Structure formats: structure tokens, C-alpha cells
A and B are shown apart, each in its own frame.
Chain A
Amino acid sequence: MDLHSQMILSEYDAQLPLIQRLEQVVLRVLNEALERNGLLVTAVSSRIKTKESLEGKLALKGDKYHSLSDITDILGARIITFYTDDVDRIAAMAEQLFDIDWQNSVDKRRLHDLDSFGYNSLHYICRLPKSLVDEPDCPQMNEMRFELQLRTTLQHAWASINHDIGYKTGVEIPPVYLRQINRLAGILEMADDEFSRIRTEINDYRRRVQQLVQNGKLDDVQLDGDTFRSYLNARPFETLTRRIAAINQAEIQEVSLMPYLPILKVLGCHTLGDVSRLRNKYEEDAYTLARHQLGNTDLDIISSSVGIQNICIVCILAQGGGKIGLTRLFNSLNGENEYNEMLADITFKQAQTLPFMNH
């Protein structure tokens, strides 16, 4: 190794503690910013180039670098996203956070010819601005550059496998295999675009459903997990549950009402409009049932599901579902077990005396 390379390696040894501090700050800043912006990613990672790796780099192209500061990837951070759109969002976030060295940054996604595929990743060379870290006794924290790589999970998978194949074989890979690897990059690029498109369409669908729920156009909304969740955000059973709670001045414990989705489907609800009509039709009888059950007790705690539960019970009985229908309800809520029949029997007997059973 020549003297020049040895000097750079000595610089590396001297600056390693500083690089380690920089790494901590960069990771903290990135994680905090991702959380602040509500961006979910697959991974945030970093690495400091090892001395052995630096030696290898210097052996190959040492004369290219005057000093350690010319090597921009001594510290590298990487964010792996789920979606290709998120790479651009996080890039915008990084541009706000860091001073970007545009001359040395490269968007490898845009380097391919129209008819070629391969490594896709966005590489930003960054510095910490003084607005993030300002330590007068350590100005190097703002001078030292680091590399931020942004790529999707699929781009990362391709790059990792491509790297593994390239380095492990130790022989020059015949063009036919290179072509096969590169055409896989094309397939993954298509898959990335498809995932992003599907996400966008799902989000559009959710927004449309929320709009329909807000506008009360419930008959236009099919009943499924997403739409029922949106509907529940409007707390359609709260009035009934509060009335039931008032019977014993009870505290209401919030629980998920999602377990009632399959039951509502069995009861013939196909749209949110059907659910709304079911509620309107049976809420008074559901309240009567609750008053009959709870009025003679001192139970002053109920779950927020008691309203919808009683609506389902009353609907089953009103539709002539009887004990078998109630047993199915309890099987759905509580898992199948031998006691549900007994519960159905008790509930059926309690309801026998109530007006809705004699309509």
C-alpha cells in the first residue's frame, strides 16, 4: 500500500469516533422524521465502512481521493420502503432535513436507457446542517458527508441477490446470466409499480367509502371489513349503548365491534344501508332487552358492544331464528363450545316475555 493510502487510513482511525457519533445522529434524525411524517418503512439501517473495505477501495482507486473527506460513503445509511412512491416522499423529507451535495448524488433509477433494467436506488450525499447539530467545538459534524440510499424492498432484494451472485461466483458471469438477472429487475420494477398502483386505488376506495358514509349514502356501500370499520368511526351504536349504560349508570368499556361483521352478513346485511336499517328497526327492542336483563342487577360496567349485540339477538328472534340462531350467534362471538346452547336457552327464555316476541 502506498504512503498516500496509508495517510487516508490513519485519518480513518483518527476520525472513527466522530463517524460513530455522526451515525447515531443520522439514524436518530431519520427515525424521528419518518415517525413525524407517518411513513412506515421496511427498515432503516446504517453501516460504517470497515477498515478492510476501505483498504480494498484505496487499492482499486486510491489516487482518486486526496483525503478521507473525498470518500462519501464512509458512513452509509439506508432506508428500505414498501412502495416506490415512498422513495420519492422520503427523498423530499431528506432534502428538508439535510444539506444535499447534488453534484455527487445520483438517482440510479433514472440512469437506465429506455430498454435496459438493473440496479434501481436513489443515493443522496448529505451533510448535517447546523439547524440539526451545532457543536462549535466539533464543526466536523457539519462537514463530514454521508451517503443515504433509498430503495424499495423489491429493489433491495434484487440488489442484494445481484451483489451476492456477482461476488460469490469469483468468475466472470456469462452475458446470458446477466441478461436473466437484469430482466428480473424489469419484472420487479413492474411489481413495484403495481403495488403502488394498488395502494393508491385502495386509498381512493377508502376515501370514496368514507365520503359515502359521511353523506349518508349507505346503500351504495357494500358491507366488508373496510367499509364496516369506516361506518363504525361514525359510532352508529353509541346512542343505544349510552341508553343501555344509563340503566345502571354504568361505565362503558370500549371494545372492537368488528366481530359483529360476519353476524350482520348472516342476518342478511349486504350494504351499510342494510346495517343502518337493521339498527333503526331493532334498537328500541334491543334497549328493552337490555333493561330487562340489567335492570335487576347492580352491574355498572358494560362493553361498548352491548348495543349491537342486543340488536343482533333481537333480530335473530324476530326473524324466527330461535335458540338455534342464538347458539350460532354465541358460537360466532365466543367460539364454538357446549355452553353456548345453554346461553341461547337462557337468553331465549328471558326474551319470551318481551313485547317484540309477540309482534
Chain B
Amino acid sequence: MKTTITYNGNQIIAAFAGRLDTAAAVQTAEDVKPLQEAENKEIILDCEQLEYISSSGLRIFLGIRKDAATHGSKVIVRNINADIRQVFVMTGFISLFEIQ
């Protein structure tokens, strides 16, 4: 599991690659820490290379969303595959995130 964070003007892009399962969650949570304090930014969670997301991964996404709301930032989940999109529906989180 690899997380890459890049900055592009007002955007912060966190690109995830691999399987975001329980084992990978601890390192991923550490990797996304720079997003915690982002003020008035557009945070893009780019999931083009993300193959799988577990509950632990969902919790990381929820944590990012909560921090962003506190700091006036907005979170957009982008390029998720069909399986992960289905996870968002099954868990009811589809109405919580802006998914593109």
C-alpha cells in the first residue's frame, strides 16, 4: 500500500495505490497526517490505483473528512473502482462524500 501526497495550488492530492486493509491502515493513517491541518483546501483522495478498502480504510477517509470540515476544507473522492463504490453504497457513506 502506497500513499503519495502532492500539492497543486489550492488542492492537496492524496493518491492511494494497493489494498487499504487493516494491516496497511496504520501506515496509511500516518501518511495522511499532513492533511489534518489543511485549512480551506480542496483535498482530493485519488483512488485510481486503490484496489480494495476495508473498514479501517473507511475510518481513515472519515477521519480526513472530519478534520477537513473543522478546517474549512472540502474532500472529494475520485476515481474509485466499482467494488469500492459499492462499499460506499452498502455502508451508506455514498451520501456523505462527494464522489467523482
Interface residues of A (CB under 8 A from B): 250, 253, 255, 259-260, 290, 293-294, 297-307, 309, 330, 333-335, 337, 339, 342-343, 346-347
Contact = CB atoms under 8 A, between A and B. Distances in A.
Given A334-B99, A343-B85, A299 B92 contact: no
Given A298-B55, A300-B55, A301-B58, A333 B100 contact: no
Residue of A260, A299, A335 with most partner-chain B CB within 10 A:
A299
A349 to B, nearest CB: 11
Contact of B89 (A300, A307, A347): A347
Contact of A337 (B59, B82, B100): B100
Contact of B87 (A299, A330, A333): A299
B59 A301 contact: yes
23 contacts: A250-B55, A253-B62, A255-B92, A255-B96, A293-B90, A294-B91, A297-B87, A297-B90, A299-B87, A301-B55, A301-B59, A302-B91, A303-B92, A303-B96, A304-B92, A306-B90, A309-B92, A333-B94, A335-B99, A339-B82, A342-B82, A343-B94, A347-B86
Residue of A260, A304, A339 with most partner-chain B CB within 10 A:
A339
Given A255-B92, A302-B92, 14 more contacts: A253-B62, A290-B90, A294-B90, A299-B91, A301-B58, A301-B62, A304-B92, A305-B92, A305-B96, A334-B99, A335-B99, A337-B100, A342-B82, A346-B86
B8 interface: no
Nearest to B86: A346
Contacts of A337: 99-100
Interface in B47-63: 54-55, 58-59, 62
B96 A339 contact: no
A175 B58 CA distance: 70
A311 to B, nearest CB: 11
Contacts of A343: 82, 85-86, 89, 94
Interface string B63-100: 00000000000000000001001110111111110111
Interface residues of B, number: 20
Contacts of B95: 255, 259-260, 303, 305, 309, 333-334
Contacts of B91: 294, 299, 301-303, 306
Contacts of B89: 309, 330, 343, 346-347
A299 B90 CA distance: 9
Contacts of A253: 62, 93
Contact of B94 (A300, A330, A342): A330
Contacts of B99: 334-335, 337, 339
A299 B62 CA distance: 14
Nearest to A337: B100
A296 to B, nearest CB: 10
B92 A346 contact: no
B79 to A, nearest CB: 10
A232 B99 CA distance: 26
Contacts of B87: 297, 299
